[in-house]
Structure 1
Amino acid sequence: MKKAAAVGVAAALSLAAAGCGSSGGSDKSTVTLWMYPVISDQAKNQAFWGKVEKDFEAKNAGIDVKVDLQPWEGRQEKVTTALVSKKGFDLVVLGPDQIPQYAQQGTIEPVDDVIAPAKGSYLPNSLSALTVGGKLYGVPIYQTITAPIYNKKLFAEAGVTKVPETLAELKEAAPKLAAKKVAVLDYPGKPEVSLNQSFYPILWANGGSVFSADGKSVAFNGPEGVESLQFLLDLKAAGGLPENAASKGNDIEGGALAGGKTAMYHAATALQAVQFGTAIGAENVGIGLPLEGRKRVSFGIPGGLVLAKHSESKDAARKLAAYLASPEVAAELAAESGFFPARTDVTVPGQSEASKEFAKSLQYAFPGDTHPKARQVMGILAPHIQAALLGKEDAKTALDAAAKEADQLLGSGG
């Protein structure tokens, strides 16, 4: 059995030079899986995937599994290179925003058959997020979710007896906390922060979307988008955002939330809740449902096992994908990673109370507006939102300017 190892793309392509999934002259099928550090502790990550290799191979004597532990950095470029060169992996873990472009290019295979025997056990949102053109292109093995985290003590000291559950209530609470020199919302306006954890949840809650229904233009500058950005500007005017909101990140440790300068972050992860508890005491941390506007929406994505079209061991790769998505392995992965299972028939051993609170938001999970150019559009929009927060543009001007650039991108075909 080959051991799990972190390798660069050059090494991975070299290892696969004889053909991805080849038998190497033996009767065994080889399946190469590119896996990423969803388990943040490196030692635990290596141990988990080493055990996966060993256990799967013990049950499938004719299959040799190789798990290449890849870094998050440069993932998109490496995956694209591997698919174009038809070398490197049989299976890879991708998110909903990455899959459409590869499905469009025809470099990955549908995997509906893998989940068919237990389709009813998967979270519907996890499956729909990985579906393109009516076909499933990723087998969900975990699900992420975000939810509001807040400082109970700060709200109480400001006389806010009911912690905000809606955007309207958040805005109403802003002046009361501002009087205590506390910003109600720890908004991270730094362009490097994913809009999925800053502006988009507010846009979605107000019923807006990033793209038009046909995907040929953007829609974030519609009435819902303007309302959402104006909401942030109104909060800022009321002292409801940090003074450096336009340039701050969403780090908890060493940040305004941990320092008692802000009261709530609306799109936090479970790990961030743990970091928050370490900073202010777990007993002072509250976890809520997604803030409601016209609806409740929480950013959360499944990690999907994607099968390369060029794989020479597709049957073996499908068996491995089914094994990794099984309740037994999904439970262990959730326990080690802090993420959540993508299935409803999985019990996570030792799940914390905080994780159980986050799990309540899974029903509201939304992977974002998937589009082959979603990440590029985000890169265009973020600086304009920052400009509005800096007072350089009003809400409509900022969004219209971003939309003009984004529509040019969408129409360019590049």
Structure 2
Amino acid sequence: MKRKLVAAIGIAGMMVSIAACGSDDKGGGSGKGADAKELTVWLTVDAQNNWPELVKAADDAVTKKHPGLKIKHEYYGWPDKNAKLDAVLATDKAPDVVEMGNTEMLGYMVKGAFAPVDAAKFTGSSAWLDGLKASVTYEGKTYGVPYYAGGRVANWRKDVFAEAGVKSTPKTYQELTADLDKVQKKKGDKFSAWYQPSRDWYAAMSFVYDAGGSIAKEEGGQWKANLSSPESLKGLNAYKAVLDTYMHGDKTKDEADRPIVYGQGKSGMIFAAAWEGATAADPKNDKVGKLADKIENFVMPGPSGKNMPVFLGGSDLAIPVKSKAQALAAEWINAFTGPSGQKGLMAKGNLPNNKTDLATLKNDPKTAVPATAAESNWFVPMAPGWGQVEKAQVLQTMLQSIGTGKKSVEAAAKEADAAIDKVINTK
């Protein structure tokens, strides 16, 4: 997905309460608004531009059951969607269905903006991908339905590694580092065998979770930072080793322009969102020449000996608590995210919202890598104050200190834990 998912922070002026949920209808939401005459669905331009036929199919399925129902669609770009949503949620004109980036969900769930739903009444919910299921769950209740997913993979320059005598992608982390060592030795210290921006917390936390650590843990209803645990420190030290050994670019940068940097030809590998390799190979970014023919995705192995757990990005669909058509909204979501919808989304290059469909993608060489990588995934702590942690860029600050050598891993982690503990339980 060609977007960066960010947590919803500070929902201005929105003081709403969670509506009661009857959960008697077959759609999965409350019985409220089952006889409504109009349904308003907010989606991003991704759906409008890339799979409008899937939207229409869901409309047709619902209107067939409810003759005379009028379904209105509004489409928004990611940068301005939440500001418009925040404004309308403060009125009585809330949409009935709204698409959210999966890390945007938490802030709205904490504030009570979305109505709870009965997950069991949505087709395929028992097999939802773990990372997406976590994104719609807060304090034991479900407040949305996963829509589709996008994961992270390793991508390397076949030509660069072949020059160093490497002919095939690695199956273990030890093989990977041995291959990287060969490239680094051949290319010298002005070349990044692995271009890994220090502040990229999605990659760094994959190392943490691979080592058995975590950003924070819940104990007795309270969340506590966990970056200083032995397991988390092991992961952070493995990440630092990558930065020290293979990353010879600016160690104060984040990952925002990684595809552009990769396209400039001064690095041999990235660990990134699945779309980034193709973006680097876009003619406007490709300074190598025919880069598309020279790059290859593979499943990132972890130091633990297992596949590296990856951050699972994606979109969810939620029903605002102020919706006057919650039952119909749930029906529409079920039609849109059900088996036929997932099949259509996969045909467009997306990962499905569930493990059953994901398994089928592993049999297709075109989709086997991202599908396999997505099986092992992690998600952010579903704590009430997590949005404040992201807003303060606590993890990025810690990682920059580690990457630049300003602080030791232990000192940087301890400082980050203290900053996290101050806000993570605050609504």
TM-score category of the 2 structures, normalised to the smaller one: 0.7 to 0.9
- 1:11-61 deviation digits (Å, cap 9, x = unpaired): xxxxxxxxxxxxxxxx8522212212335xx74466764675567546642
Amino acid across the alignment from 2:192: A
Which one is further off, 120-129 or 320-329?
Answer: 120-129
Residue from 284, 288, 296 that aligns with 2:298: 288
Q: How does 1:103-118 map to 2 (within 5 A)?
A: 103-112=109-118, 115-118=121-124
Q: How does 1:226-305 map to 2 (within 5 A)?
A: 226-238=233-245, 240-255=246-261, 257-269=262-274, 271-278=275-282, 279=286, 280-294=290-304, 295-296=306-307, 297-305=309-317
CA distance, structure 2, for counterparts of residue 172 and residue 370 of structure 1: 37
What is the match of residue 21 of structure 1?
Answer: none
What is the match of residue 320 of structure 1?
Answer: 332
Amino acid across the alignment from 2:46: V
Which one is further off, 112-121 or 86-95?
Answer: 112-121
> Is the 1:145–1:362 Cα contact (8 Å) retained in structure 2?
yes
**TM-score of the two chains, using structure 2 as the length reference:** 0.76
Q: How far is the alpha carbon of 1:282 from its aligned partner?
A: 3.8
Q: How far is the alpha carbon of 1:320 from its aligned partner?
A: 0.7
What is the match of residue 151 of structure 1?
Answer: 157
What is the match of residue 382 of structure 1?
Answer: 396
What is the match of residue 138 of structure 1?
Answer: 144
Q: How far is the alpha carbon of 1:84 from its aligned partner?
A: 4.5
Distance change >3 Å, CA 134–CA 114, structure 1 → 2: same
What is the match of residue 218 of structure 2?
Answer: 213
2:250 aligns to what SS in structure 1? Answer: coil
What is the match of residue 10 of structure 2?
Answer: none
Which one is further off, 243-252 or 67-76?
Answer: 243-252
What is the match of residue 133 of structure 2?
Answer: 127
Amino acid across the alignment from 1:222: S
Amino acid across the alignment from 2:337: A
Amino acid across the alignment from 1:373: G
1:88 aligns with 2:99: no
Which one is further off, 132-141 or 312-321?
Answer: 132-141
CA distance, structure 1, for counterparts of residue 173 and residue 251 of structure 2: 18
1:94 aligns to what SS in structure 2? Answer: strand
Amino acid across the alignment from 1:132: Y
Distance change >3 Å, CA 346–CA 395, structure 1 → 2: closer
> Is the 2:228–2:410 Cα contact (8 Å) retained in structure 1?
yes
Q: How far is the alpha carbon of 1:396 from its aligned partner?
A: 1.6
1:225 aligns with 2:222: no
Distance change >3 Å, CA 293–CA 123, structure 1 → 2: same
What is the match of residue 183 of structure 1?
Answer: 192
Residue from 326, 329, 332 that aligns with 2:341: 329
Amino acid across the alignment from 2:218: A
Segments of structure 1 that go 5 or more residues without pairing to the other structure are 1-26
Amino acid across the alignment from 1:36: T
What is the match of residue 77 of structure 2?
Answer: 71
Aligned length: 376
> Is the 1:186–1:262 Cα contact (8 Å) retained in structure 2?
yes
Distance change >3 Å, CA 372–CA 262, structure 1 → 2: farther
- 1:86-105 deviation digits (Å, cap 9, x = unpaired): 53311112244333443343
Distance change >3 Å, CA 236–CA 360, structure 1 → 2: closer
Distance change >3 Å, CA 231–CA 118, structure 1 → 2: closer
> Is the 1:96–1:367 Cα contact (8 Å) retained in structure 2?
no
Q: How far is the alpha carbon of 1:211 from its aligned partner?
A: 0.9
CA distance, structure 2, for counterparts of residue 219 and residue 410 of structure 1: 12
Segments of structure 2 that go 5 or more residues without pairing to the other structure are 1-34
1:216 aligns to what SS in structure 2? Answer: strand
Residue from 34, 55, 58 that aligns with 2:42: 34
> Is the 2:145–2:318 Cα contact (8 Å) retained in structure 1?
yes
Residue from 324, 335, 352 that aligns with 1:341: 352
Distance change >3 Å, CA 329–CA 52, structure 1 → 2: same
> Is the 1:210–1:220 Cα contact (8 Å) retained in structure 2?
yes
Q: How far is the alpha carbon of 1:69 from its aligned partner?
A: 0.8
CA distance, structure 2, for counterparts of residue 37 and residue 252 of structure 1: 24
2:369 aligns to what SS in structure 1? Answer: helix
Distance change >3 Å, CA 102–CA 254, structure 1 → 2: closer
Which one is further off, 203-212 or 126-135?
Answer: 126-135
CA distance, structure 1, for counterparts of residue 81 and residue 321 of structure 2: 18
Which one is further off, 72-81 or 205-214?
Answer: 72-81
2:324 aligns to what SS in structure 1? Answer: coil
Q: How far is the alpha carbon of 1:234 from its aligned partner?
A: 2.6
> Is the 1:95–1:130 Cα contact (8 Å) retained in structure 2?
no
1:361 aligns with 2:361: no
